[in-house]
Structure 1
Amino acid sequence: MDNFITEMSPWKTLPTHAADAQVFAIGDVHGQADTLAATLDAIASVPRSHLVRRLIFLGDLIDRGPQSLAAIALYKSAGDLAMVDDVILLPGNHELMLLDGISEPDHFICDWLDNGGDMLIEEAVPGCTARRLVELADIARDAVGEEFLEFIRTCPTWHMEGNIFFIHAGLDPTAEPSEFLNQSRFGAVHECHWAWIREPFLEWTGGWGDCKTWIVVHGHTPATMQVTNLKVLEKAADRVATHGRLCLDAGSTLDLAQVAWAEFAAAKYRFCMTRRR
C-alpha cells in the first residue's frame, strides 16, 4: 500500500477498565475502500498482544465515497486481512437508510440517495438512468446482496469491552440508556437516535454509564472535513479526558481518503489514522 501512510499516536492510559482483548475499532469509511484496505493491512502488521484480537466497525461503510461495494467486500474478508479472530459491524445511519430505502422505496429511498446513496448506485450501474424509485431499490438490493442486508437487519447495534462502549453516533445523556438503545433501527431518521445523535451527546461532560465510567467510542460526526495529519485530527477527535468519548470519524467522503481507527489493549489506547499520501 505505497500510496497510503498510517500514523499512530503514543500509547495513552485509559481512565477506566479496558478490554481484556486486543481491540481495534474503525470509524466511518464512506466508500473509501482503498483506504480501508490500507487500514486493514496496517492492523495486520500490529503484533498480537492478547489471546483474542477483535475488530469493530462503527458503521457507515457505505455512501458518499466511490467504492461502497468494494468496502462491503473488504468488511466480509476483514478477519483474514487484518489477522483478527472476531469481526463486529455496528450499523451506522447510512446502512439504516439503505435498509429503509430498499424496504419502502416510496417513503425512504430519496433520503438515502440524497445522503450519498447515489454514489453506490453509480458504482453498481455506471451511468444509471433509472428514475423509478422501486427500480433504484432493486439495483441497490442486488448490488449489496441479501446476505449483507440481513446482517444489517439483525446485527448488534452497540458493543461493550470492559467499560469501553462502541456505538455509531453516541448516547443521549438525558435518556435512560436501555430505553435509548432499544430504539428500532427501522425508520429512524431523527436526531435523538443512537445512529443519528449529535447534541447533547458531543458536548456532555458529565460521564457515561451507571457509574459514569464508560468511554464512548463513536463515529458519525466528522472530527474534520479537511485533509490533515494525525496530530491535528487527534486534537479534534480525542475527548477521552474531557468528555469521556473518542471520535473515529475522519470525514471520509468522495475526495477525502482518510480513515481514523484506534487500538485498545489492557488499560491503554492509541489513536491512529490511515490516509492517502
Structure 2
Amino acid sequence: MHFDDETTGWKAFENGTRTDEHLFVIPDIHGHADLLEQMLALIARIPGNGRPRTIAFLGDLIDRGPESFRAIQLALDAKNQCDKRIYLPGNHEGMLLDGLDLPLETTAFYHWFDCGGSSMVAELPGHMTASQEEIREQLREALPAGYLDFLRTAPGHYKSGDLLLLHGGLRPPVGPDPEGERERFLAQPLASAPRVHWARLRHEFLLWKGGWDKARREIVVHGHTVMCENGIESGVEAADLADHVSTHARISLDMGTGFLPQLLALEVAGGAYRFHYVRKEKYLP
C-alpha cells in the first residue's frame, strides 16, 4: 500500500504562545501502525533546528485497528529519534488497564472488548478457544515489559511552554478556585476514570471560548474527539478542521484514524506551528 503525505505552511501563534522545544504531537492511532510508521518516517526527515526534539503521543494507540501491539512498540521506540519521548495515555489505555486489573465480574473487561478491544484480542494466537481469564493472561504477557505498570502511574498531561497536551479535554477555568480545580482535575489517575476526566471530557471543553489563562497564551492540544465524518482530501483541509486556536484556544488532532485511513500530526517550533498529514493512497472518501 502506498501512502501520500502533505505538510502545511507555518503559522504564527497569536498572543505570544510559544515553546522552547521542537515539538511533534501525534494523536489517536487506534491500532493503525502503518499510518504511525509513515508519520514517524516523515518526522525523521525533518531537519533539526537547534531546539530539543520531543515527540509526544496523545494516547489511544490501541483498539479498533489491526496492529495495536506494533503501534505501542513504535511509540516506545520513537525515543531513538528524539531527545524526549512523551507517551500520554487515553481512555482506551484506561479501559485496557481496568479490563486487566479489575475482576471479571465488574464487566470492565467486557466493556473494553466491546469498545474496540476485540481487535487487540484478535491479534492473540488461539483467542477463539481461550477463556476470558486466559485471554487476559495472554494480553499481559504480550504487552511490552513494564507497560501496564507504566500506565498505572503515567502522567495525564504534558506542558511544553504555553502548550498543554492531553488526550481528552480540560475543564474550563470557572468557579471560586479555578487553579485548584484544574490541579485536582489533571491529577486524577487513569484507572477507574469517572465520566468527568481528562481522558474522556468532551462537550464543556469543546464549547469553551474563554481561554485557559488570563493572558490567553495557553493552547490545549488534544485528540479523543473526531473532527471529521468522512475522508479528508488534503492536509490543508485537515489543518482547518484541527485549528481552533483563535476561537477556542485549542488544537484538535483526531481525524478519525480508528475508522479512516488518515492521520494528522502537529509540529511546533518557537512561536509557530504547522501540520503533517498522512493518508493511504487509493482512498475513497
Aligned to 2:110: 110
What secondary structure does 2:146 align onto?
helix
1:59-70 map, 5 Å: 59-70=59-70
Structure 1 residues 226 and 105: CA distance shift in structure 2, 3 A: farther
CA apart distance, 1:148 = 1.3
Aligned to 1:8: 7
- Structure-2-length-normalised TM-score: 0.90
CA apart distance, 1:51 = 3.2
Paired residue type of 1:164: L
1:12-161 map, 5 Å: 12-15=11-14, 16-80=16-80, 83-106=81-104, 107=106, 108-125=108-125, 128-132=128-132, 134-161=133-160
Conservation of the 8 A alpha-carbon contact between 1:21 and 1:50? no
CA apart distance, 1:226 = 2.1
Structure 1 residues 55 and 48: CA distance shift in structure 2, 3 A: same
Deviates most, 9-18 or 237-246: 9-18
Candidates 238, 252, 257, aligned match of 1:247: 252
Per-residue CA distance 1:163-201 (angstroms, 9 max, x = gap): 1110001101046211211222110151x1000000100
Q: Give the number of aligned pairs.
A: 271
Where do 5+ consecutive residues of structure 2 fail to align?
A: none
1:166-185 map, 5 Å: 166-173=165-172, 174=174, 176-185=181-190
Aligned partners of 2:102, 2:38: CA distance in 1, in Å?
Answer: 36
Where do 5+ consecutive residues of structure 1 fail to align?
A: none
Aligned to 2:205: 201
CA apart distance, 1:270 = 0.5
CA apart distance, 1:52 = 0.9
Give identity over the alignment, percent. Answer: 39
1:254-269 map, 5 Å: 255-269=259-273
Aligned partners of 2:247, 2:214: CA distance in 1, in Å?
Answer: 18
CA RMSD of aligned residues (A): 1.6
Conservation of the 8 A alpha-carbon contact between 1:32 and 1:252? yes
